Amino acid sequence: DGGITQSPKYLFRKEGQNVTLSCEQNLNHDAMYWYRQDPGQGLRLIYYSQIVNDFQKGDIAEGYSVSREKKESFPLTVTSAQKNPTAFYLCASRGTVNSPLHFGNGTRLTVT
């Protein structure tokens, strides 16, 4: 059964720690995306990758980093430089331009 897996579902960290969120897809999609969602803010684009070994900053990339070493994987690191890291993080992928986005179930990160 193909899909996108985000883990863990809930994540708790202390302020000042870096944390990496996992996103894995077995849909053979080239493009992958990371979004952040806060209450009433909609989906804000953090980073995206059109192809392996390539990625671009989205609208709110500061304080985040990504890698795309494998087609199936697009991990997101929330660094200690991110001022307000507590949020709901969604990963998505799609095969071609204009094809639908497929989303993972998301990771809720709480930093205290």
Partner 1 sequence: GQQVMQIPQYQHVQEGEDFTTYCNSSTTLSNIQWYKQRPGGHPVFLIQLVKSGEVKKQKRLTFQFGEAKKNSSLHITATQTTDVGTYFCLRSNDYKLSFGAGTTVTVRA
| Residues binding partner 1 (CB under 8 A) | 31, 33, 35, 40-45, 48, 50, 56, 58-59, 90, 92, 97-106
Query: Which lies closer to partner 1 via its Cβ, residue 75 or residue 80?
Result: 75
Smallest distance from the beta carbon of 5 to partner 1, in angstroms? 12
- In this structure, how many other beta carbons lie within 10 angstroms of the beta carbon of residue 26? 13
Query: Which lies closer to partner 1 via its Cβ, residue 49 or residue 82?
Result: 49
Smallest distance from the beta carbon of 91 to partner 1, in angstroms? 9
Query: Which lies closer to partner 1 via its Cβ, residue 30 or residue 80?
Result: 30
Going by C-alpha positions, the residue among 93, 111, 107 that lies closest to residue 21 is 107
Cα of first residue to Cα of last residue in the chain, in angstroms, is 36
Residues 6+ apart with CB under 8 A from 85: 13, 19, 63, 78, 109, 111
